[in-house]
Amino acid sequence: MGANRRHREVRPKAAGVVGMLALLLLDPAAARAGGLYRFVDDRGVVHFSNVPTDDRYAPMRRRPRGLRLSASVSPAVPVNHGYDSLILRTAQAQRLEPALVKAVIAAESNFSERAVSRVGAQGLMQLMPGTAAELGVSDPFTAEDNVDGGTRYLREMLDRYGDLQRALAAYNAGPDAVDRYKGIPPYPETEAYVERVMDYYRGYHGDFHR
């Protein structure tokens, strides 16, 4: 393999941001020269290249200015493309970034439709029964109903606070806690949650091409 030619395939557990960073470390000139391209094959394997030879490759969008990986970014951003179409459709309906919705799902349930938390939150976006009822979600264990309700609730929190991190904190700890502390509550679980979602959000930008 020539010095200026790099192809890499990343298995699901090592894909996403980590795979991209690994490629940059192997050949930092790649990004400067011709950019990076990726595609996900039918086995869920993510392929990266700076010299695409397959028409399935698509250019990777540059990370938006101001978005940087935190020093504590997880080395295992969850990889799952099974809900991407649903996420894209539902996020667009609520004027949300699909990468953000996917990040919340990953942090909340790790893409498990049947997930139930220790406090009773349910489904992909971990809706509490009372919240689900208020949102008109008839079956929180159905992906379509759960993601529809979860994205509408996330939209409400964003409209309420006008700040992404506060909205995420409210999604996790409830708006009363955010109001009480006038910001992200000093709960270790909520602080870690907001940071994790933000890291996943940055990692999932490449999953949704515009």
- The residues assigned a catalytic role are 108
| Distance separating alpha carbons of residues 95 and 78, to the nearest angstrom | 24
Q: What is the DSSP string of 146-205?
A: HHHHHHHHHHHHHHHHS-HHHHHHHHHH-HHHHHHHTSS-S-HHHHHHHHHHHHHHHHTG
* DSSP H or E run through 9: strand 7-10
Q: Is the dihedral of CA 1, 52, 16, 168 positive or negative?
A: positive
60 token code pair: 């990777």
Q: How far apart are CA 207 and CA 102, in angstroms?
A: 10
Give the C-alpha separation, 56 to 10, whole Å. Answer: 16
Burial 87-118 (b: 16+ CB within 10 A, else e): bbebbeebebbbbbbbbbbbbbbebebebeee
